[in-house]
């Protein structure tokens, strides 16, 4: 009855507003079941069609999820929950949670700012900087991705959203990695799409799990070819061969790759690019390598995908800031910046590998082949994360990334000094020993 009391009104608009208010005021919790349509209709004295319309709108906007015969529930991460305050790291706590690159390894801003041209850009300018387009096309072709042009967007998620927008409709399924980056999960749920989990191991998505997911006929597949967040997985050439064999049986599937770490991932690019596929996109962000405030990602794709992205931009933001595009061009041409990126790549790799090695030496399973993150399976996420915080380490519980995969914590090693890896591994080992002792005493 408490849930039902949060649903009020006689019109679709009022019903939608009441449920949103209940979620915002935390009277309706994530995962909580809503009453059946006919029950609500009878209680409010309205038609079942009105309630069904409200539920449908809320699903399309990511507030509710349909669970088939099990009914309708509040989304695990409704859009209102995304307005949370940023994580604050207390003094004396080592931040292994926020997922940032190491500020000390980012390129210098001064030289790039001085290189930006002085004249203003007007509305009739080309939305995409011609030099950045040429550099982007050459970058993709170096990895065997043949594309005649690119689109320039505001980061990876912007590129993924624009790629999906013209192809999928609310209620369509999207195959995603499990565990998966929270931003991708939030994005597809906010568009009313349904995530279909695909198991991940250290070589990327698992072939048999992909085959099972594709049997449910998703309209798109979103994958991370390297530095997968949160697990640090990366495709191998052997795994790519297996996956391409499966995908060849589903030529109409829209395949989107999120190469969000790119140049500093620490491993070569192996991707699912197939020029014979009608719909495909590879999104490569510059934000992790050059800085999060440089909101730029480059999108290679089939002609229709690129046309859709650019057409939608014209209707909205029109273009990515030309000042940022000028800075990106400077960085991608500057020998000192490129050398700095190589050094950053090597240091990120050393830091990640140091923690994985230290954990394995203590008999603790840990994933992390590329990028900034190490994934550590644990019996109980919240308890381990809280114990680590008390010991001076902030990590991220894995619940927010998981669909069906087992519990784990994500440890971001981007700024973790190699000398700290041993101490953190000791702290994790102590937490796991405490958990085993707690379970044994129950």
The domain that holds 172 is classified in CATH as: 3.40.640.10
In the predicted model, residues of the chain with pLDDT beneath 70 are 1-4, 77, 79-90, 437-442
Distance CA 191, CA 65 (A): 11
| Pairing assessment for the beta strands 151-153 and 297-301 based on DSSP bridges | antiparallel
Final residue of a structural domain among 298, 317, 335:
335
User: Both 170 and 236 in a single domain?
Assistant: yes
User: Both 316 and 409 in a single domain?
Assistant: no
Final residue of a structural domain among 303, 335, 367:
335
Task: Give the per-residue pLDDT at 84.
Answer: 47
Task: Give the per-residue pLDDT at 63.
Answer: 83
Spatial contact of 337 and 181, defined as CB atoms under 8 Å apart = no
User: Both 267 and 389 in a single domain?
Assistant: no
CATH number, domain of 348, equals 3.90.1150.10
User: Both 219 and 361 in a single domain?
Assistant: no
Task: Give the per-residue pLDDT at 82.
Answer: 46
User: Both 91 and 173 in a single domain?
Assistant: no
Per-residue pLDDT tens for 72-130?
888 776 766 544 445 666 678 999 998 899 999 999 899 899 888 878 888 888 889 99
Q: For the chain, what is the domain count?
A: 3
User: Both 301 and 374 in a single domain?
Assistant: no
User: Both 351 and 422 in a single domain?
Assistant: yes
User: Both 155 and 302 in a single domain?
Assistant: yes
User: Both 276 and 138 in a single domain?
Assistant: yes
User: Both 235 and 143 in a single domain?
Assistant: yes
Final residue of a structural domain among 319, 335, 351:
335
Task: Give the per-residue pLDDT at 346.
Answer: 97
Farthest CA pair distance, the chain: 71
Per-residue pLDDT tens for 321-341?
999 999 999 999 999 999 999
Task: Give the per-residue pLDDT at 442.
Answer: 47
User: What is the token pair recorded at 244?
Assistant: 């391409």
User: Both 70 and 166 in a single domain?
Assistant: no
CATH number, domain of 27, equals 1.10.10.10
Spatial contact of 128 and 151, defined as CB atoms under 8 Å apart = yes
Domain that holds residue 237: 109-335
The full 3-state SS of the chain, as one line of letters, equals CHHHHCCCCCCHHHHHHHHHHHHHCCCCCCCCEECCHHHHHHHHCCCHHHHHHHHHHHHHCCCEEECHHHCEEECCCCHHHHHCCCCCCCCCCEECCCCCCCHHHCCCHHHHHHHCCCCCCCCCCCCCCHHHHHHHHHHHHHCCCCCCCCEEECCHHHHHHHHHHCCCCCCCEEEEEECCCHHHHHHHHHCCCEEEEEEEECCEECHHHHHHHHCCCCCEEEECCCCCCCCCCCCCHHHHHHHHHHHCCCCCCEEEEEECCHHHCCCCCCCCCCCCCCCEEEEEECHHHHCCCCCCEEEEECHHHHHHHHHHHHHCCCCCCHHHHHHHHHHHHCHHHHHHHHHHHHHHHHHHHHHHHHHHHCCCCCECCCCCEEEEECCCHHHHHHHHHHCCEECEEHHHHCCCCCCEEEEECCCCCHHHHHHHHHHHHHHHHHHHHHHHHC
Opening angle at CA 33, ends 27 and 34, nearest 5: 80
User: Both 77 and 148 in a single domain?
Assistant: no
> Among 293, 292, 288, 223, which residue's Cα sits nearest to residue 253?
223
């Amino acid at each position: 009855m408490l849930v039902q009391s949060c649903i009020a009104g006689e019109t679709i608009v009022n019903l939608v507003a009441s449920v949103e208010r209940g979620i915002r005021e935390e009277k309706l919790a994530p995962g909580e079941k809503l009453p059946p349509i006919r029950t609500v209709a009878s209680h409010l004295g309205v038609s079942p069609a009105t309630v069904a319309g409200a539920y449908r709108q809320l699903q399309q906007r990511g507030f509710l999820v349909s669970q088939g015969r099990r009914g309708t529930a509040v989304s695990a991460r409704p859009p209102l929950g995304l307005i949370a305050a940023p994580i604050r790291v207390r003094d004396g706590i080592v931040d292994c949670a926020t997922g940032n690159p190491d500020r000390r390894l980012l390129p210098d801003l001064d030289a790039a700012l001085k290189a930006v041209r002085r004249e203003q850009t007007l509305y009739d300018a080309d939305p995409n900087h011609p030099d950045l387009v040429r550099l982007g096309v050459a970058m993709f072709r170096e990895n065997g991705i043949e594309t005649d042009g690119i689109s320039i967007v505001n980061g990876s998620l912007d590129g993924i959203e624009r790629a999906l927008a013209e192809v999928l409709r609310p209620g369509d399924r999207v195959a995603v990695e499990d565990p998966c980056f929270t931003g991708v999960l939030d994005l597809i749920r906010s568009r009313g799409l349904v995530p279909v989990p695909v198991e991940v191991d250290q070589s990327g998505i698992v072939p048999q799990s992909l085959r099972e997911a594709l049997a449910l006929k998703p309209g798109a597949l979103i994958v991370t070819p390297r530095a997968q967040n949160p697990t640090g997985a990366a495709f191998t050439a052997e795994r790519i061969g297996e996956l391409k064999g499966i995908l060849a049986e589903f030529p109409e599937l829209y395949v989107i790759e999120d190469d969000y770490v790119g140049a500093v991932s620490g491993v070569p690019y192996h991707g699912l690019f197939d020029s014979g596929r009608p719909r495909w996109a590879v999104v490569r962000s510059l934000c992790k390598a050059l800085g999060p405030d440089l909101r730029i990602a480059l999108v290679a794709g089939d002609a229709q995908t690129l046309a859709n992205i650019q057409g939608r931009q014209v209707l909205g933001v029109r273009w990515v800031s030309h000042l940022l595009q000028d800075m990106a061009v400077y960085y991608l041409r500057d020998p000192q910046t490129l050398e700095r990126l190589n050094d950053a790549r090597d240091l990120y790799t050393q830091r990640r590998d140091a923690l994985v090695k230290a954990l394995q030496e203590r008999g603790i399973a840990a994933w992390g082949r590329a990028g900034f993150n190490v994934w550590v399976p644990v019996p109980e996420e919240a308890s381990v994360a809280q114990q680590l915080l008390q010991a001076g380490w902030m990590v991220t519980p894995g619940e927010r990334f998981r669909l069906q995969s087992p519990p784990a914590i994500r440890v971001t090693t981007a700024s973790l000094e190699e000398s700290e890896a041993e101490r953190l591994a000791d702290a994790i080992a102590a937490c796991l020993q405490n958990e085993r002792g707690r379970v044994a005493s129950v």
